[in-house]
Structure 1
Amino acid sequence: MTKTESRPVRLPPEKAATANQALQRVRDYLDSHRDRTQVTVTVEGGGREPLVLPREVVELLAATLAHLGAGRAVSIVPSDAELTTQQAADMLNVSRPFLIGLLKAGEIEYRTVGTHRRVTAASVLDYKRRDDQRRRAAADELTHLGQETGLI
């Protein structure tokens, strides 16, 4: 498993416009070249051969630019990266004791290294996806009940 230190990157506000301009160009390219599995990039002033990137890498770049352009901090963490309980709690925006409760309840997979718990980023993201689905289902149910009772 990969150990990681997630250091979020946040652009200063004056650079957000540059990220948004780049995002628009990348999205336009991807939209107009849907059949391409690779993207060729020319680096300005590089004097070298063009850089060839897998389409998935460019799509990840677009997602990163979108977040940075919106003023959000971004971290890239490999899915098999092992996180400390504090890092996992930070990813979920919950307290460390709350995360420990989730681990003990079997909601998130983890392993023990000595006396320390280690959680993979994939396990955290899987829990987040399931939790989001549960929340959406509960909100939909409340909306449905509100409509049935005439409150909405």
Structure 2
Amino acid sequence: MKTIMSGQNLPVESVMAQEQEASSIRQIERILKLEGSQPKLVGANGEEITIPDSVYQVLRQVVHAMALGQAISIVPQERELTTQQAADFLNVSRPYLIKLLEQGEIPYIKVGAHRRVRFEDLKKYKEQRDQKRSQILQQLIEMSEEAGLYEDE
């Protein structure tokens, strides 16, 4: 489990579902996928509150990822990350991230001698990178099909 520190110095830990929780998580995922349902949270005292849509969307994403066996970390958007935290988020080495920063691919600020990257900027870069990768993959598939490397079965 990896722990990073939030802006208020509160630890943000990655959480991964235990094997014995898999069945319950799949059941929660099934319930959250039901269209038209009005999800509610029921307290121990029986008090009910409708889950706001924004919380519901995050809950669906978290439960889906956990059902796939992925670890989850929740990071506030306004947060500034160290270069190591940013590299971990992108799943790249720290030296490679520094190169991206110095090339202007990702904005950053300096705090003393240290670079900080806003999570929002990092997320934007990751989305653009992933979109470019998908486009290139699609082009490769199309070229392979045109060259007759793919055959329909």
**TM-score w.r.t. structure 1 length?**
0.85
The aligned residue for residue 138 of structure 1 is 136
Which residues of 2 match residues 25-104 of structure 1 at below 5 A? 25-28=31-34, 31-33=35-37, 39-43=39-43, 46-47=44-45, 49-104=47-102
Which residues of 2 match residues 109-128 of structure 1 at below 5 A? 109-128=107-126
2:26 is aligned with what amino acid?
Answer: N
1: CA distance, partners of 2:135 / 2:66: 30
2:40 is aligned with what amino acid?
Answer: T
Q: Which consecutive residues of structure 2, in runs of 5 or more, have no partner in the other structure?
A: 1-5
| Cα separation, partners in 2 of 1:146 and 1:69, compared to 1, 3 Å | closer
Q: 1:97 is paired with a residue of what secondary structure?
A: helix
Residue identity over aligned pairs, in percent, reads: 36
1:148 is aligned with what amino acid?
Answer: E
Greater mean alpha carbon deviation, residues 5-14 or residues 46-55: 46-55
1: CA distance, partners of 2:83 / 2:90: 11
2: CA distance, partners of 1:151 / 1:23: 39
1: CA distance, partners of 2:138 / 2:47: 53
- Quote the offset at 1:82 in angstroms: 0.8
The aligned residue for residue 25 of structure 2 is 19
| Cα separation, partners in 2 of 1:6 and 1:87, compared to 1, 3 Å | farther
1: CA distance, partners of 2:56 / 2:148: 48
Identify, as 1 or 2, the structure richer in helix.
1
- Quote the offset at 1:151 in angstroms: 2.7
Q: Deviations over 1:36-74 (max 9, x none)?
A: 6xx43222xx22532233112012111111111221100
Asked if residue 8 in structure 1 is aligned to residue 44 in structure 2, the reply is no
1: CA distance, partners of 2:146 / 2:17: 47
Q: Deviations over 1:80-137 (max 9, x none)?
A: 1111111111111110001111111111111111111111111111111111111111
Q: RMSD of the TM alignment (CA)? A: 1.8
Q: How many aligned positions are there?
A: 143
**TM-score w.r.t. structure 2 length?**
0.84
